[in-house]
A and B are shown apart, each in its own frame.
Chain A
């Protein structure tokens, strides 16, 4: 039993932090607010070179064949930097989706293109009712020749406007299935959905009889349910890693500020009202760390409790990050509420991820099902 990082993992974490400290400063994040694409192609190219984009993929497809602990380390650092760009959408939502369900040909095509930085991907997991349960999906796939035509309305599709391929769940005559859709295909309409985190991008994606070929089917028709469950668990834990990074950044900034900001003739960190708040924030962050890396390990190792550990992780970290980021504004006082100060970049990143891939209540119900059925 060893719940600590290996030397290689620490090396990876340090190199990601160093690269993002250099190339993803707050000024870069802010510059992307008004950018049409929303991310910098130079940094994207750099991430391909450093091997981040293929990190969890097999070596045959240009990947590094690493696990979710390593991927969580990278994504935590991205949360810490409020990284603006389609890394999560491409590597986790699209990439892991294709890795879990794709044919050898699909993997060769897409995973290699993602790892080399040539392609971006995403997945359209949410519809207008916001139910994460795959059983609720209503988009349809009608048979048409050797392929299908897809129709339906997807919302909150991350980075669809720059994606080359979107994993789309829809109901075919066989049941729930997954399809690879080109967002530039005819019949697809994208409309931006602008949230408070301007460094993240979402689209509404309307599919109106979009024709796709036989090779667009991901996995077997009618068997997408378990695959989506797997993908959602991974997205839940990886988004928790990103929230963890954002929360730790907020904590660090609060502690540094409390050491130097003086009121009543002394640093505010010397007042118990402030110090105790910071201590509680640290406890939340450390617990969140344990929840994220336990779940990332459990998913990678195929541990018995991987599913429930994922739900525990997402429900715990969503709330912890909300509290820590919110409290960091309180510790800062007025300056923390200004646009110029960087705190809101991280607070908004955590907030944007909080309801995604199952919010706290969604996952608590899954936990309740587990603990009441086994007792």
Chain B
């Protein structure tokens, strides 16, 4: 056990810091083209697709190096690259399950942001019960025809391609009839409509597919393997942002302490209120414990081990913490915390370009409600933890009665 960073990691961190100092965009990124340009600059520096195989344009880097890059980007409040789903989910899926031809066709263009990607998984009636999805893909000999509706599609508006789960067999148990495809979003049969969230913005879309076409060569894995492929892809990228996430929290926390030093209650600085101090002390402990856990996860990844269902513990832990943290922030900040406009500088959250989110406490508070729902709700994570880590028996489920599942 040695929790010091190695001299190599420290030197690499320094190198990344220097690069960021010299290359950070001087002005705020406003357009997609500006963000693509920044994305390419990051890629050319070797900071994207770091863990992907070199022969397909990746960097073959260690998990710790990836974590350090993300961490330093968070520290420098650097703008995020675009194509987060291409980098985080689609690319790794193609790396693991794709054919050589698919890898050559798609991976490099994800890294250069020539093609932007979205993920077509959830449906209106298939959320936590993802295997209940109804979108169909019917074999037409040389291609598939896709019909159905997807929802909660991040980045759907700008996506050129989508990673699709669709049903190819209705006669077998529900999770055995699902297949995985790459679908061109730029075709007449695909209609993308933005979905306005409680934040007032539209990071998500609804996608309607009417006789959309998917080429046979764009099928990932074998027919019926879609569920298994989705299970593995949901586990990717658990480690990459492990340190960066904590650095973001720490930066928010500093802003919060700064605000509490300016506010007063009963004639005294709020920061002297023992109740406030207890709550700040508590949340800081939780943030630090999250950092310790990130180091444990990185240790595993560095040894080439996959956290597996342990990723569910990580996701449950940080997403629930983020809710508690933002609840405390808005409690301390009072009505300042609810401002989406007109907040004095000292009561603003820095513009959080690092995750391409807007920069108000109010927005961060509202957005924290999403974290315990997307990518497997907290309830689903607890089921996974219970069944796969603790070995507790599966529940009797209505859709399995009669032995169909």
B288 adjacent to A283 (CB under 8 Å) = no
B293 adjacent to A364 (CB under 8 Å) = no
B308 to chain A, nearest CB (A): 14
Q: Mostly helix, strand, loop or mixed at chain B's interface?
A: helix
Interface flag for A258 (CB, 8 Å): yes
A261 to chain B, nearest CB (A): 11
Bound together, the chains give a CA A9 to CA B2 distance in angstroms of 13
Bound together, the chains give a CA A283 to CA B290 distance in angstroms of 11
Chain A 304-322 interface mask (CB, 8 Å, partner B; 1/0): 0000110110011000000
Interface-located stretch among B49-57, B200-208, B379-387: B379-387
A290 adjacent to B292 (CB under 8 Å) = yes
Interface-located stretch among A130-138, A267-275, A347-355: A267-275
What are the residues of chain A within 8 A of B391 when measuring CB–CB?
255, 259
A266 adjacent to B393 (CB under 8 Å) = yes
Of the listed residues A4, A258, A363, A375, the one surrounded by the most CB atoms of chain B closer than 10 A to its CB is A375
A2 adjacent to B292 (CB under 8 Å) = no
Bound together, the chains give a CA A275 to CA B394 distance in angstroms of 9
Bound together, the chains give a CA A279 to CA B278 distance in angstroms of 27
Interface flag for A44 (CB, 8 Å): no
Size category of the A interface is 35 or more
Interface flag for A298 (CB, 8 Å): yes
Of the listed residues A279, A283, A311, the one surrounded by the most CB atoms of chain B closer than 10 A to its CB is A279
Bound together, the chains give a CA A372 to CA B318 distance in angstroms of 23
Q: Which residue on B lies nearest to A267, using beta carbons? A: B393
A153 to chain B, nearest CB (A): 28
Given contacts A286-B293, A315-B285, A375-B254, contact A1 B5 (CB under 8 A): yes
B284 adjacent to A283 (CB under 8 Å) = no
Residues of chain B from 282 to 333 with CB closer than 8 A to chain A in the complex: 282, 284-286, 288-289, 292-293, 295-296, 298-300, 302-303, 313, 316-317
Bound together, the chains give a CA A248 to CA B296 distance in angstroms of 18
A312 adjacent to B289 (CB under 8 Å) = yes
Of the candidates B281, B293, B382, the one whose C-beta lies within 8 Å of that of A275 is: B382
Residues of chain B from 250 to 264 with CB closer than 8 A to chain A in the complex: 253-254, 257-258, 261
Interface flag for B274 (CB, 8 Å): yes
Q: Which residue on B lies nearest to A284, using beta carbons? A: B317
What are the residues of chain B within 8 A of A1 when measuring CB–CB?
2-6, 9, 64, 295, 298-299, 302
Bound together, the chains give a CA A368 to CA B328 distance in angstroms of 15
Bound together, the chains give a CA A65 to CA B379 distance in angstroms of 46
Interface flag for B172 (CB, 8 Å): no
Bound together, the chains give a CA A85 to CA B362 distance in angstroms of 53
Bound together, the chains give a CA A269 to CA B392 distance in angstroms of 6
Chain A 278-311 interface mask (CB, 8 Å, partner B; 1/0): 1110110011001101100110010100001101
What are the residues of chain A within 8 A of B390 when measuring CB–CB?
255, 269, 275, 278-279, 282
Bound together, the chains give a CA A132 to CA B64 distance in angstroms of 40
Interface flag for A361 (CB, 8 Å): yes
Q: Number of contacting residues on B, CB 8 A?
A: 52
Bound together, the chains give a CA A366 to CA B6 distance in angstroms of 30
Residues of chain B from 354 to 383 with CB closer than 8 A to chain A in the complex: 379, 381-383
Chain A 1-17 interface mask (CB, 8 Å, partner B; 1/0): 11111100100000000
Of the candidates B1, B274, B284, B383, the one whose C-beta lies within 8 Å of that of A371 is: B284
A272 adjacent to B379 (CB under 8 Å) = yes
Interface flag for A19 (CB, 8 Å): no
Of the candidates A3, A272, A312, the one whose C-beta lies within 8 Å of that of B285 is: A312
B276 to chain A, nearest CB (A): 8
A347 to chain B, nearest CB (A): 19
B397 to chain A, nearest CB (A): 10
Interface flag for A365 (CB, 8 Å): yes
B317 adjacent to A2 (CB under 8 Å) = no
Residues of A within 8 A of B (CB): 1-6, 9, 69, 255, 258-259, 266-267, 269-272, 274-276, 278-280, 282-283, 286-287, 290-291, 293-294, 297-298, 301, 303, 308-309, 311-312, 315-316, 361, 363-368, 371-372, 375
Interface pairs (7), CB distance under 8 Å = A1-B3, A1-B4, A2-B3, A3-B1, A272-B383, A275-B382, A282-B313
Given contacts A1-B3, A365-B274, 10 further A-B contacts (CB under 8 A): A1-B298, A267-B392, A267-B393, A279-B381, A279-B385, A282-B385, A290-B295, A297-B2, A315-B281, A367-B280
